[in-house]
Amino acid sequence: MSFCLDTSVLVPLLVRDALTARARRWLAAAPGEVLIGDLTEAEFAAAIGAKPRRRGVTAEEARAALGALSMWRVDAPPAAGLTFDLGMEAVARRLGTTITAA
């Protein structure tokens, strides 16, 4: 089974807040592949970008979270069962089909 990681879970995974422990426990126990789509990454960037204005984190912490997501994209997928692609190829793979283009 695959799970799409929502921004509301991704943010506390990379920025310490009240839900961080809960999000980390869920990820550690996830019973299948965890997908992070391109739109989720864009939502994450918007959410993190707004946090300094709302005084949720400092600008430095926001930059560090964005950098952590970039590093996670490169380093974590094989080790943690994360897939950073929810485009047509990922959907086709999950459905056991292929994409044909003219």
For tokens 């709302």, the residue is: 54
Q: Report which of 39, 16, 20 is spatially closest to residue 87, judged by C-alpha positions.
A: 39
pLDDT in tens, 2-12: 777 888 888 88
Q: What is the pTM of this model?
A: 0.67
Residue spans of the domains in the chain: they are 2-95
Does residue 69 register a pLDDT over 70? yes
pLDDT in tens, 42-61: 888 888 888 877 877 888 88
CA 2 – CA 54 distance, rounded (Å) = 33
Instruction: Find the mean pLDDT for residues 17-33.
Output: 86
Task: Give Cα separations from 11 to 57, 92, 95 (angstroms).
Answer: 12, 28, 29
At the top level of CATH, which class does the domain 2-95 belong to? alpha beta
